[in-house]
Amino acid sequence: MDLSDLDHWDFHLPEDRIARRPAATRTGSRLLHLPLDGGPFGHRQFTELPELLEPGDLLVGNDTRVMAARLEARRESGAKVELLVLEPGPGVVRALGRNIRRVKPGDRLLLAGGGEARVHAVDGGEVAVSFDAPVAEVLERQGAMPLPPYLQREADEADAERYQTVYAGPLGAAAAPTAGLHFDENMLAQLADRRVGFATVTLHVGLGTFKPLQEEQLQEKRLHEERFSIPEATARAIADTRARGHRVIAIGTTTTRALEASTPAGATSPEPGPGATQLFLAPPDRVTAIDGLITNFHLPRSSLLMLVACLCSRERLLSAYGEAITSGYRFYSYGDAMLLL
């Protein structure tokens, strides 16, 4: 089977399986346990996660903070446009644009909440812009959360809280690291009581999140570039966990990507410091930087689906997805979770 054929990564998802809104509470989702030793699937609640982990295990999450990146604006002619800012600045930043077919370098875009953006370059659906105030201030004052298109709705006040992890730190993401949305302060306290460690990396989720996967990306084994940083304390915690014979479990595919990109070949823990990666993981690649993964259910034909399959095989992962669909699990950003361990 040619796993570089996107058709082999397709599956049918009924529309009513897409979670349009989050569960009533962060930990109120279901958890499908996929044992990596080949055992049967387990149907759990996310609140049961602590009992599935062992004292000495280490969870690693992505602490990027999502920007309220969606801005409404008008051209000087009065035509409406929309910007989805992809970087926190300073200076000229990239943004995805909607209704920008007639926009050209030098144009002024009048922001709906006041102020303006100046267009410096246009490349297809992407623009380079600068603002008349610091980017972070503009977004805080008038930006909206950049919900994924498949939710088919505008962001509301609840999304400002729920589309952000409780441990979010550095500002810079254009989309949430959604596996982390299931954790609340009480869950983190329960894990600490069980002597399960918790550490973070930072990977700012960027442009590639909004672009469909292309066949040439599969052939070239290269994705969009994303910036990340591995703190000294996290690298040390992972090395200590491995030295004691315990497990490192990533919270989400973005965490996995950062750890895999920063762990040298043959090593068992990452190198600390900043970096950038275009890493594309797909079977038969093996993920060696982690021992387990907590993740949401991903879109068909996506690089995220392929990354997860590196832990368990395409066949077993798609079998788990079939089980989840049949059993009524909720999919995508606000949906239920999986534990591969």
- pLDDT tens for residues 246-257? 999 999 999 999
72-114 residue pLDDT tens: 999 999 999 999 998 888 889 999 888 888 899 999 999 999 9
For residue 54, what pLDDT is reported? 97
State how far the Cα of 300 lies from the Cα of 22, in Å rounded to an integer: 21
Mean pLDDT is highest, among 6-20, 185-199, 297-311, for 185-199
Residue 205 reports pLDDT greater than 60: yes
C-alpha distance across the termini of the chain, in Å: 26
Cα 56 to Cα 292: distance, rounded to the nearest angstrom: 14
220-242: pLDDT as tens digits: 677 778 889 999 999 999 999 99
Judged against a pLDDT cut of 60, whether residue 20 lies above it is answered with yes
Which residues have CB under 8 Å from 31's CB, separation 6+? 44, 45, 46, 48, 49, 336, 337, 338, 339
Q: What is the mean pLDDT of the chain?
A: 92
Please, what are the domains in the chain?
A: 6-66+159-340 (3.40.1780.10), 70-143 (2.40.10.240)
Cα–Cα distance for residue pair 89/198, rounded to 1 Å: 29
Question: For residue 209, is pLDDT > 60?
Answer: no
Q: Is the pLDDT of residue 337 over 90?
A: yes
174 has pLDDT over 60? yes
- Say what the pTM is: 0.92
For position 7, what pLDDT does the model report?
Answer: 78
- Which carries the bigger pLDDT value, residue 5 or residue 72? 72
| Model pLDDT, residue 6 | 81
- Whether residue 1 is predicted with pLDDT greater than 60 in this model: the reply is no
In which band, very low, low, confident or very high, does the pLDDT at 38 lie, cut at 50, 70 and 90? very high
Tell me, what's the pLDDT at 70?
Answer: 93
Question: How distant, in Å, are the alpha carbons of 205, 250, 271, 316, 341 from that of 40?
Answer: 33, 22, 36, 11, 12
Q: What's the pLDDT at 5?
A: 75
